[in-house]
Amino acid sequence: MNDYKKYWIWLSMTLGASARVDDILSAFPEPHKIFEASRNERILSGVFSKTQLDRFDCADFDSVLSAMSVCQKNGWQIITPDDAFYPPLLDKLPNKPLVLYVDGDIGCVSNKVTVGVVGTRNPCNESIAIARSISGGLASAGAVVISGGALGIDSAAHEGALDAGGKTVCVLGCGLGTRYLMDNEAMRRRIAGNGALISEFTPFANASRTSFPLRNRIISGLSYGVLVVEAGEKSGSLITARCANEQGREVFAIPGSVLSTAYSGANKLIRDGAKAATCAADILQPFSVMYPDLLSLEAASDSMPVISAKEETVRNKKPEVIKKECPSGLDPDTQAVYNLFGEDSLHPDEICAISGLSPSKVISALMQLEMADYIEQTEGKNYILK
């Protein structure tokens, strides 16, 4: 392993995820020179904030060596901006990740058209089928599907690409090896074998409320274009769409009923300039002109799966839920769990990862909230506001 990787890891840990690094790397192209510089030399460079300067003074290098050891034991790659396989699209971002921890083959995105597919964690059956079908079409045409490994649309996108025999990349909002969302563990193993799991967070780092928005810039950053499938006005997938716009990526959205709040976010994207898409070819057509040798539109499956009337009515969309005020008298843990709920459903594993509470405390809190008629359980052990 390149000995200089430890300095990239040290710099990443010190600055934190999503720090703007373009000016820093212009002044110090080699991170080991920042490590060797005195505080005064760092100050005179003019590229560090006082907070960053203070962090350099108390940085712990033992955690760097520990991360490298863990990766070596598990066969995980450490990819840094000076590596040949560091994705070129990410390298152009002002807040690019300085380290990517990889389980699988990050080289699968090299010389490929990459498309992000995101959406709500609580989709209707029709949207799941659409995400699977379009992702399968993208993969069949030679594109790589990028998503976040969450429940709902993310999972459907990964599965569609895998079932088509294509490549897909999952960008995690936690460190590799973290026991997060274990219901999707089998799918993550498939992804590692047919693409890559990647994270900018150190191995075993827990997810948090802020880590998912941070990883969204990587989903869009890795992608030539981003497709949003079913998103309400408060959906986290709109953060990915916003990142895509800021990064100069194409944004696509599946249009939905104007009478349903479940599609209000996606419809608003289209109103504001996103391209409406109904099949894989709609997304790939502009890229096929630019990269004719990388894509085969003929191989993309444009036919949408038939959804039976029974399937369509399995999970009828409810009117928009107005979150009730948190009931008084709840213990702090239960109150903290209730505060996590928004438009999307939550799985107990996700709640544990974000809140830091133990599984027993989370289950207890969910039971109290369910008995108080504030939440209800849906398919796949998920919970949603009632």
What is each CA distance from 270 to 202, 255, 319, in whole angstroms?
36, 8, 22
Interval 132-153: pLDDT, tens: 999 999 999 999 999 999 999 9
| Alpha-carbon span 370 to 376, nearest angstrom | 6
Interval 244-300: pLDDT, tens: 999 999 999 999 988 888 889 999 999 999 999 999 999 999 999 999 999 988 888
Mean pLDDT of 109-116: 96
- The pLDDT mean for the chain works out to 89
Confidence class for position 312, pLDDT limits 50, 70, 90: very low
| Alpha-carbon span 143 to 161, nearest angstrom | 9
Greater model confidence, 15 or 326:
15
Confidence class for position 221, pLDDT limits 50, 70, 90: very high
Interval 151-184: pLDDT, tens: 999 999 999 999 999 999 999 999 999 988 777 8
pLDDT at residue 318 greater than cutoff 50: no
Beta pairing partners, 119: 229
Q: Considering only 31-40, 214-223, 234-243, which range has the smallest mean pLDDT?
A: 234-243
Mean pLDDT of 337-347: 82
Helices and strands in the chain, H and E counts: 18, 11
> What pTM, to 2 d.p., does this model score?
0.83
Q: Considering only 51-55, 142-146, 334-338, which range has the smallest mean pLDDT?
A: 334-338
By CB atoms closer than 10 A (0-12, 13-18, 19+), residue 21 is buried
| Alpha-carbon span 185 to 149, nearest angstrom | 10
Give percent above pLDDT 90 in the chain: 67
Interval 285-311: pLDDT, tens: 999 999 999 998 888 865 455 444 444
